[in-house]
Structure 1
Amino acid sequence: MSASESVKLTSLSSKGGCGCKIGPADLMQVIRSLPPAVPNPDLLVGLDTSDDAGVYRLSDELALVQTVDFFTPIVDDPYAFGQIAAANALSDIYAMGGKPLTVLNIVAFPISTLDKSILADILRGAADKVAEAGATLVGGHSIDDKEPKFGLAVTGTVHPDRVRTNAGARPGDQLILTKPIGVGILTTSLKRGLLSEEEIRRVTAVMSLLNKTAAEAMGSYDVHACTDVTGFGLLGHASEMAKGSEAGIIIRSEAVRILPRVRELAEAGAVPGGTRNNLAHVEGSVIFPEEMELLDRYILCDAVTSGGLLIAVPEAEAEALLGDLLQLGLEAAHIGEVTGDHPGMIRII
């Protein structure tokens, strides 16, 4: 057994489970306290719509897409952790309709207490995903920290007229989600030793899958809005889309693909704190069926790492796009629609 295999990385994370972001309610409170940004006509996407990345126009033909994401280990295999962290950070570029160009590694690592081979494996996993994305690693920054953390700062490019935001959904659009949910509950269960090796491989494969294929597929369609489903969960990111688009959203809960055993493990108590925070944050913006149980509400709000794209596409194109995604081997599903009713709200049916 190598040094990297003998250490359980998830046990070194004080947060545990999902590697969650700061909760949406706390984050919004902080952001509201900041002075307004200086207006800049070349800033095409900033903080206004809680979008996945910032977009800055360089010319009539070219804009930069910029994002950064990092978190504590959510799996024990260092190579897999590097892959997942890279896929998660790259996803923001894909959600905006962009192409990743360059990346910088962000490393916090207890270099005096953990074997250096662990960090090497993390970096190797990330490098392989960066290469798969067709991007170039140009450097990074590292600090000595008692808790491992890893991620990427990513710069991509997009045509200014082809930017996808979470604020363009229109009534009549159909909603397609390109990955199953339940990741946060499963990674919390992993930390508690409740998953089989096969289940660990399954959830790891979902998280480490780049959204490159989905983004390239949607590039052929008249997509009105897109976001990736990550720390704020499906309903959290759908709520941002509803508010940004000033439209209502309907989600058919039975159509949402959920990873195996998620509900069983949630019943056993493996619901991460980030998931609970997500539900508390969106409750005023979601109309749940009265009969929907609390656990099912948690699952729809589950804090995801490296989730799929939530795509709003015209009804006339939805079936073709879904067919393309399925043919490409993605676990995509048609989960709902955009409506002119209850703007800014989500209705679960």
Structure 2
Amino acid sequence: MRAERRRHHGDMAYRLTQYAHGGGCACKIPPGELEEMVSGLTGARPEGAEGELVVGLDAGDDAAAVRLRGDQALIATTDFFTPVVDDPYDWGRIAAANALSDVYAMGGAPVVALNLLCWPRETLPFELATETLRGGAEVCAAAGCHLAGGHSVDDPEPKYGLAVTGTAHPDRLLRNDAGRAGQPLSLSKPLGIGVLNTRHKATAERFAEAIEVMTTLNDRAARAAVAAGARCATDVTGFGLLGHLHKLARASGVSAVLDSAAVPYVAGARESVRAGFVSGGTRRNLDWVRPHTDLSAVDEETAVLLADAQTSGGLLVAGEIPGAPVIGELVPRGEHSVVVR
């Protein structure tokens, strides 16, 4: 483990998660509050704007997409958050993979990214910031994405992420409003990241599988989805599987039936819920989706896991893709947007 080299400065040890009020995508503004905040902000096309905005704020999709010409769309997104793990190098890798995921969730390929760094310069040594940036740079290199500069701010809490620009074919975009009844639902990564990160923050236990999941790019899943002819997808991050599935079903005008027994989890996730390692973000996710979700067939523990706030989670695809389990299907719109069985 790299902790001795990366988390020590002089005679003092630093646990990055202890310098933040929360961690990772669990720090997102709750979905209900966010939707209320941005309602009405979808304006008309600005005069003189180049290209056609084909995906904007209307359906709460993963990124914005502008058609520049017939065969090319530009994808733009940004994502950053407080430390989700103590090791700065791992945090940098996780944050970068998470930011790049929004481009993959739209069926695109990242082209260039900019660092976004907030750092408590009088509290944490800059060598930890350097390790964070190094982790982000390595993930961008693995993704074949240029990383060119960025912006930094002196901030009481450490935060890191990327602003990412990518490209895609405008007729092959993956979007959350393109789901159709009869399509299966596939999930490319297991759930349970949020509860394990909450446990890590509380106990300093390191969960290698969780870090492996969070640092794995969604590039292969995105390419497989596009190659299979899928047109509807989203990534599962801070709003949990139930929250993102609700948004997809609502935007597509359908309902989703979720097979809870088919959903994969990272080892130790269920035990961590039983031990009480559940973030406030996950609780808020569950409160938000309850009115729209039939959870009568599952226990509270399962409901919490399905609402668990993920960081750098997998792609949820309306269609079958190699290596990803089918966890449900889209059906004609019913009383609830999501039914869990």
Q: Same fold (TM over 0.5)?
A: yes
Q: Aligned residue for 1:52? A: 62
Report if the CA contact (8 A) 1:17-1:191 is conserved. no
Does 2:304 correspond to 1:298?
Answer: yes
CA contact (8 A) 1:239 1:344 kept: no
Q: In the TM superposition, what is the alpha-carbon distance from 1:53 to its structure 2 partner?
A: 0.3
Q: Give deviations 1:127-181, integer Å, cap 9, x for gaps.
A: 0000111110122000111210000000000111111101111111010000000
Equivalent-residue separation in structure 2 for 1:257 and 1:3 (angstroms)? 32
Q: Tell me, in whole angstroms, the C-alpha distance in 2 between the residues paired with 1:247 and 1:123.
A: 41
For 2:169, the equivalent position in structure 1 comes to: 159
Corresponding residue of 1:15:
22
Aligned residue pairs: how many?
330
Task: Give the C-alpha shift of residue 341 in structure 1.
Answer: 4.2
Cα distance in 2 between the residues matched to 1:79 and 1:55: 31
Deviates more, 1:101-110 or 1:332-341: 332-341
Say if 1:163 and 1:289 are closer, same or farther in 2 by CA, change over 3 A.
Answer: same
Partner Cα separation in structure 1 for residue 214 and residue 16 of structure 2: 17
In the TM superposition, residue 64 of structure 1 has moved relative to its aligned partner by 0.6
Secondary structure of 2:69's partner?
coil
State the alpha-carbon separation in 2 of the partners of residues 217 and 163 from structure 1. Answer: 13
Instruction: Compute the RMSD of aligned alpha carbons.
Output: 1.6
- Contact 2:24–2:311 (Cα < 8 Å) also in 1: no
> Which residue, 321, 325, 332 being the options, matches 1:333?
325
Shift of the alpha carbon at 1:99?
0.6
Residue 3 (structure 1) shift: 5.5
Asked if 1 retains the 8 angstrom alpha-carbon contact of 2:254 and 2:333, the reply is yes
Residue deviations 1:293-319, cap 9 Å, x none? 212111100000000000002xxxx3x
Question: Which residue of structure 2 aligns with residue 184 of structure 1?
Answer: 194
Measure, in 1, the Cα distance between the counterparts of 2:247 and 2:163. Answer: 23
In the TM superposition, 1:116-265 aligns within 5 A as 116-193=126-203, 195=205, 197=206, 200-265=207-272
SS at structure 2 position matched to 1:58: strand
Other structure's SS at 2:213 match:
helix
Partner Cα separation in structure 2 for residue 45 and residue 75 of structure 1: 33
How far has the Cα of 1:112 moved from its partner?
A: 2.5
Q: 2-side partners of 1:35 and 1:251: how far apart?
A: 32
Query: 8 Å contact 2:42–2:57 — kept in the other structure?
Result: no
Residue 63 of structure 1, CA deviation: 1.1
* Structure 1: segments with no counterpart, 5+ residues: 327-331
Secondary structure of the corresponding residue to residue 64 of structure 1: strand
Tell me what 2:33 maps to. Answer: 26
The corresponding residue for 1:4 is 7
- Corresponding residue number in structure 1 for 2:340: 348
Task: State the TM-score, normalizing by the size of structure 2.
Answer: 0.93
TM-superposed CA distance for 1:238, in Å, is 0.4
Give the deviation of 1:17 after TM superposition.
Answer: 7.0
C-alpha distance in 2 between matches for 1:38 and 1:343: 33
Counterparts of 2:44 and 2:228 in 1: how far apart (Å)? 34
**Alignment correspondent of 1:311:** 317
- Aligned mates of 1:194, 1:128 — CA distance in 2: 24
Alpha-carbon spacing, 1:123–1:17, altered in 2? closer, same or farther (3 Å): closer
Change (3 A) 1:35 1:221: closer
The 8 Å contact of residues 245 and 344 in structure 1, kept in 2 or not, is answered as: no
Matching of residue 39 in structure 1 with residue 31 in structure 2: no
| Change beyond 3 A, Cα 1:225–1:344 | farther
Matched to 2:22, the amino acid is K
1: CA distance, partners of 2:237 / 2:180 = 22
TM-aligned CA distance change 1:310 to 1:16, over 3 Å: closer
Distance 1:185 1:341, change over 3 A: same
Residue 189 of structure 1: CA displacement? 0.4
The separation in 2 between residues aligned to 1:90 and 1:272, in whole angstroms, is 24
The TM-score, its normalising length taken from structure 1, stands at 0.91
